[in-house]
């Protein structure tokens, strides 16, 4: 098999990073695409594990040098996916997991087409989203307001995704995400057909 890509998008605070990390512990041969961002590091986040944190000038330079598979401006900061590590992991046959916004998903789809499976994650309501952002305790009230406003416009793009998950009960959502991830690894588009048939015939 060649690699596959699993994209998870959804409003900030919907549970993407918590669910993704739990899902990846339970599935072999996965690789989390570490994005580069210009936003401040949150308490508890680790450089090189959650994000690579750089300045806006460095980010612009990265764009000029063509380092990003995709990039977008979200909540007044820049976020981007580096191309090189993704290609390397896909060549190793890994399932590469992206936590990117709706703009990034559109571009990734244009570039990688049918090896992408996409999931839109959200909460049962906007109020629940607000409660979770407050309870997470990592954002100022101004930043929470920005994230809640952005959530509405992100929700209007849900039709561009293969699956929607409403993250009410964590364990149930995790189970559903794991099922989708397993299925996404078996997409025919990820199959190296010639090699598969040749080894099948010679067994």
Q: Are 148 and 133 in contact (CB under 8 A)?
A: yes
Rg (CA), the chain: 17
d(CA 35, CA 21): 15
70 touches ligand 5GP by CB under 6 A: yes
Q: Is residue 75 a contact residue for ligand ADP (CB under 6 A)?
A: no
In whole angstroms, the minimum distance from the beta carbon of 15 to ligand ADP comes to 3
Under the criterion CB under 6 A, does residue 104 sit at the interface with ligand 5GP?
Answer: yes
Token output for 86: 């993704």
- Could you give the CA distance from residue 203 to residue 200 in angstroms, rounded to a whole number? 6
- Using CA atoms, how far apart are residues 31 and 96, in angstroms rounded to an integer? 5
Segment interacting with ligand ADP, rule: CB under 6 A, options 10-18, 65-73, 90-98, 108-116? 10-18
Residue 13 as a binder of ligand ADP (CB under 6 A): the answer is yes
Task: Say if residues 53 and 41 touch (Cβ distance below 8 Å).
Answer: yes
Task: Return the residue of 81, 122, 184, 190 that touches ligand 5GP, per CB under 6 A.
Answer: 81
Residue 100 binds ligand 5GP, judged by CB under 6 A: yes
Interface residues with ligand 5GP (CB under 6 A)? 9, 12, 35, 39, 70, 72, 74, 79-81, 99-101, 103-104
């Amino acid at each position: 098999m060649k690699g596959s890509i699993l994209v998870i998008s959804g409003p900030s605070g919907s549970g993407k990073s918590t669910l993704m990390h739990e899902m990846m512990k339970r599935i072999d041969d996965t690789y989390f695409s570490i994005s580069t961002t210009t936003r401040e590091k949150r308490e508890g986040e680790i450089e090189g594990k959650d994000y690579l944190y750089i300045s806006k000038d460095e980010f612009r330079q990265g764009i000029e040098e063509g380092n990003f598979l995709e990039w977008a401006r979200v909540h007044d900061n820049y976020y981007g996916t580096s191309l090189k590590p993704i290609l390397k992991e896909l060549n190793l046959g890994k399932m590469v997991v992206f936590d990117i916004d709706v703009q990034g998903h559109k571009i990734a789809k244009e570039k990688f087409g049918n090896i992408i499976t996409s999931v839109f994650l959200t909460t049962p309501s906007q109020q629940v989203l607000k409660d979770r952002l407050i309870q997470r305790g990592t954002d100022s009230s101004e930043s929470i307001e920005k994230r809640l406003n952005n959530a509405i416009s992100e929700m209007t793009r849900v039709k561009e995704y293969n699956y929607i998950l409403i993250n009410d009960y964590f364990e149930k959502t995790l189970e559903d995400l794991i099922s989708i991830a397993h299925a996404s690894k078996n997409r025919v588009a990820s199959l190296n057909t010639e090699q598969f048939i040749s080894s099948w015939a010679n067994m």
